[in-house]
Structure 1
Amino acid sequence: MILYISPIPTAFIQRDIEMLSPTFRIVHLNFTANPYLLPFFFVIQFLQLMILLPFTKKYLCFFAGYHTIIPVFLGRLFNKEVIIECGGTDAMHLPKIDYGNYRKEWLKKATVYSFKNCSLILPVSHSLVKSTYTYDAESPRLQGLLHLIPDLKTEIQVVYNGFDDQFWTDDQRKKSPFSFVTVATGISKKNRALVKGIDLVLELAKVFPSYSFTIIGDENFQTTLPNVTVMQSLSQKKIREVYRVSQFYLQLSYSEGFPNALAEAMLCGCVPIGSDVGEIAKIIGETGFILPKKDFSLLHSLVSKLHQIDLEILRINAVLRVKENFNYTLRKEKLIAILK
């Protein structure tokens, strides 16, 4: 049995579980993202792990943090392999926007302890291993595990996210002209909105009132702009429908590891526009547009020229790029080989 441990349930964690369940017996345990509930969840998690210990072969954790302290401790104590999938916040330090595990003393200690003492680290992108951050000059340049934990000796193996191109498909319907969509959860919290670049999305909406913008993921987020539609978290099928009628996907994040929604939208024929952080530029390649720095004048110039571009060619190429480079089957095969 493999225990899959995560801080909160997410669509990409559920995808991993569905991917691995035909091959392994997976038991999924969620922790909490609420700091006030930490003592309670530490007790609950310890009891859960001790009860399941005789049946547990390996621990697989998404992100490092408070939820990985006990699994890593038990793994070392009872000689059980602990694998941590590094996803983003656990390999970034961006104090300007209050983002990353390394901004809080105890969360930093939990993260560093977990990465140093686990068996294997599986980042979803190379940028999370070691990178130079240039998107905003006011943030620390040296990012990634090897910069933030210089004495880290744990083995690291990058495994990209993979996407189901049988589900995320472009059905060739006519796109609504100059329609932009982005997916971002929790953005009713200011720092989360900054992480996801929602401030830039709203600036675009102000300057281009005839263009339409859709933000999916948090019905509590509010704006008075008439050309911005805010939607709650949707099912995968409903999100796919929005992608299929939207012409552009915006991924203007201040920080990202490997954004799932970006690749899924590209498979549905959205032309991507992304910030130069994490793996975004590699995902997009030559099929869309990259914002090199957080500078609205650069973004305005980019969007102003979209009407001059052959968008249908980019639409086709965006689909092909994800199919060829970030395949669901490839991630599945790599994860299964690692876990066997």
Structure 2
Amino acid sequence: MNNEEFVYAMNCSTKVISMCSQFAKQMLKDGVKPEKVSFTIGGGADPKLFQPHQRMNGAIGFCTAYYARKDPDRIFNIIKMLPHRKFILLGRDWDRYEKFTELTAMPNFSYIEASYAEYPSYYAQMDVFVSAAILEGGPIPLIEAMMCNVVPVASKTGFALDIINHGNNGFLFDVDASAESVCKLIEQAYQIETDIRKTVEHLTWNNFSLAVQQLLEK
């Protein structure tokens, strides 16, 4: 489907729900009618499952399967540039990464393939969460980590721009930012004293479903 066909299809719909503000703005710019477009943050986390913890110079975490759009080289370089920090990568299929052997050989790095029910126990070991992707629709792990009081450092993708107030409850960086510049933000993240959970505690799956229901009832 080309852009013209996409806009036509969206204008034929009853309502288009955009999961992040930047996608909503892009649709309006492309020609989708304003009355068709609604925005609600596209996701949430279970506040009972993802409990907050006190940050005490813990690890830097990533949570992602292996895809090119997740910018694996940037992740690799960040880990390599911060040998004094501990890193945890929750994910799958990273054995497909061409530098996987070199990555797993780094003494400050742990690669974890775990069930979803185990994720909170790993978030509890993190002080900083990094989302390094060049393209995202979410990401949901960003909300989960923040719900656990982990400071986010995220690329300006998906709904990161909607839930991170740069310098207050986390940091944002451009999608083409260098690993070195991201590392500087990571170090700054360790100095933040904000209660991160309080800034996202409204982002639950119950509230998300209610928001969608209210849009459909209009």
Q: TM-score range by the shorter chain?
A: 0.7 to 0.9
Deviation at 1:320, TM superposition (A): 0.5
Is the alpha carbon distance of 1:113 and 1:260 closer, same or farther for their aligned partners in structure 2, counting shifts above 3 Å? same
Aligned to 2:171: 289
Is the alpha carbon distance of 1:306 and 1:249 closer, same or farther for their aligned partners in structure 2, counting shifts above 3 Å? closer
Q: Unaligned 5+ residue runs, structure 2?
A: none
Q: Is 2:124 aligned against 1:252?
A: no
Aligned to 1:214: 88
Aligned to 2:19: 124
Deviation at 1:216, TM superposition (A): 2.1
Is the alpha carbon distance of 1:217 and 1:113 closer, same or farther for their aligned partners in structure 2, counting shifts above 3 Å? farther
Stretch moving more, 159-168 or 117-126: 159-168
Aligned to 2:116: 236
TM-score, L = length of structure 1:
0.53
CA distance in 1, matches of 2:186, 2:90: 21
CA RMSD of aligned residues (A): 2.6
Equivalent pair of 2:89/2:110 in contact (CA under 8 Å): yes
Deviation at 1:253, TM superposition (A): 2.1
Is the alpha carbon distance of 1:109 and 1:303 closer, same or farther for their aligned partners in structure 2, counting shifts above 3 Å? same
Equivalent pair of 1:197/1:251 in contact (CA under 8 Å): no
CA distance in 1, matches of 2:147, 2:183: 25
SS at match of 1:157: strand
CA distance in 2, matches of 1:178, 1:228: 13
Q: Tell me the alpha carbon deviations over residues 164-185 of structure 1, each in whole angstroms, 9 at most, x when there is no partner.
A: 222211254x75x351111222
Equivalent pair of 1:169/1:268 in contact (CA under 8 Å): yes
Structure number with greater Rg is 1
CA distance in 2, matches of 1:289, 1:339: 34
> Of 30, 39, 53, which residue of structure 2 is paired with 1:158?
39
Is the alpha carbon distance of 1:108 and 1:217 closer, same or farther for their aligned partners in structure 2, counting shifts above 3 Å? farther
The one-letter code sitting in structure 2 at the alignment partner of 1:212 is K
Aligned residues: 205
> Of 294, 318, 322, which residue of structure 1 is paired with 2:200?
322
Q: Unaligned 5+ residue runs, structure 1?
A: 1-105, 131-143
CA distance in 2, matches of 1:206, 1:184: 18
Is the alpha carbon distance of 1:171 and 1:304 closer, same or farther for their aligned partners in structure 2, counting shifts above 3 Å? closer
> Of 144, 157, 178, which residue of structure 2 is paired with 1:277?
157
Aligned to 1:267: 147
CA distance in 2, matches of 1:215, 1:107: 36
Deviation at 1:113, TM superposition (A): 5.2
SS at match of 1:129: helix
CA distance in 1, matches of 2:184, 2:140: 26
Consecutive aligned runs of 4 or more in structure 1 exceeding 6 Å deviation: none
TM-score, L = length of structure 2:
0.79
